[in-house]
Amino acid sequence: MAVFTFCLAVSQINILTKDERNEHLSAHYINIGIQYMKSNQLPEAITNFQMSCKLAPHSDWNQTRLSAAYFKNKEYNKALSIMSKVYPKHPHIEEVAGLYADLLAIKGKYSDAHYVLGVALQINGRLDEAIEHYTETLRSDPNYAAAHNNLGVIFRLKGNVERAANHFRKALQISPDLAGAKNSLDALLEEEKDKDNPL
């Protein structure tokens, strides 16, 4: 049935513009990939989702489907690579959030997954939850400079300037060229100097 549907789509494709054609074909590859996923034919599903992503490379929905297929095929690094690009932009996508939860259940000390989930939570103002995930990131990888930097940002927002400064300094010890940490620490030190509260 999927092959017939695809052939029908191709026969009607000549009347569309290139962008419309790519979008149309992309949707058909997604539908075929979903059918393969349902029948647990994961390599075929991945191939179809990859084709869909090539035709519509800016579609986060297509990327999410490909990520799910990689995850189901136990290709966790590939799944995470895609999720880390999609989830911070669309943290409300329940499917991606579910994949992160599943990935963390399988690989509890997966620092990149905790970090990206922390970023998404921070973007949505869920700072306490973000702190938990950044802390888990650092538990797995104490030298994760970006996690230290983001904790610094959160603690600064919460008014805990000493903890913020400590995290900014730690980020800079690990990665001296991390501009965000340097700028944030400089601004924080300047503010505290003006309050006669040197850190």
66-70, 74-78, 100-104, 166-170: least confidently modelled range: 100-104
Domain range summary for the chain, segments of one domain joined by +? 1-57
Mean pLDDT estimate for the chain = 80
- The per-residue pLDDT for range 164-192, each reduced to its tens digit, is 999 999 999 999 988 888 888 888 888 87
Reading the block at residue 3, the tokens are 């092959």
Give per-residue pLDDT as tens, 132-146. Answer: 989 989 998 999 999
Mean pLDDT of 40-68: 88
pLDDT tens, residue by residue, 2-29: 555 555 555 555 555 666 677 778 888 8
Report the predicted TM-score, pTM, of the whole model to 2 decimal places.
0.57
Report the distance separating Cα 84 and Cα 66, nearest Å.
13
Burial 48-63 (b: 16+ CB within 10 A, else e): bbbbbbebbeebbbbb
Higher pLDDT, 106 or 76: 76
